[in-house]
Amino acid sequence: MNQSLKDRHYEFITSENARDVYERLALACEKRPGGCDDACLLLIADYCRNEQLKELLQADIQARGLGREVNNYRQKYYKPNESVAHLRSVIEQQRRLLGELRLTPASNKAEQVSINDELSEF
């Protein structure tokens, strides 16, 4: 693993949880075939920046709720918290990054089992 690149990433990744995720993802990339190169570390850094953003959005949702009722003179309407939509898009982006890193369960498909029967010999 490129330590200087990791140190540069840690300048932007300040959350303790995001740093822990960075370490775990880098370790998982090291264990897979092909190892962990600089391109993987860049994707991991993007994932961890999204993790920090996700923490902020979750805190906002916790503080303000899912939405609020707005009174505009005689009109009353419900205004949803925009952090919910942003949180969904951040989570989706994280899923795509994990897929790109080949760290999803779908990317670790089991090898196909060959059935040895008389028909295959025929």
Listing DSSP states for 31-68 in one string gives HSTT---HHHHHHHHHHHHHHHHHHHHHHHHHHH-SEE
Q: Where are the domains of the chain?
A: 3-56+82-105
Question: Looking at residue 89, what is its pLDDT?
Answer: 95
State pLDDT tens for residues 75-104: 898 889 999 999 999 999 999 999 888 887
CA angle 58, 63, 67 (to 5 degrees): 85
State pLDDT tens for residues 40-72: 999 999 999 999 999 999 999 999 999 988 888
This prediction's pTM: 0.78
pLDDT value at 1 more than 70? no
- The rounded distance, in Å, linking the Cα atoms of 97 and 39 is 12
- The rounded distance, in Å, linking the Cα atoms of 103 and 119 is 37
Higher pLDDT, 28 or 33: 28
Question: Looking at residue 112, what is its pLDDT?
Answer: 47
The residue count for the chain = 122
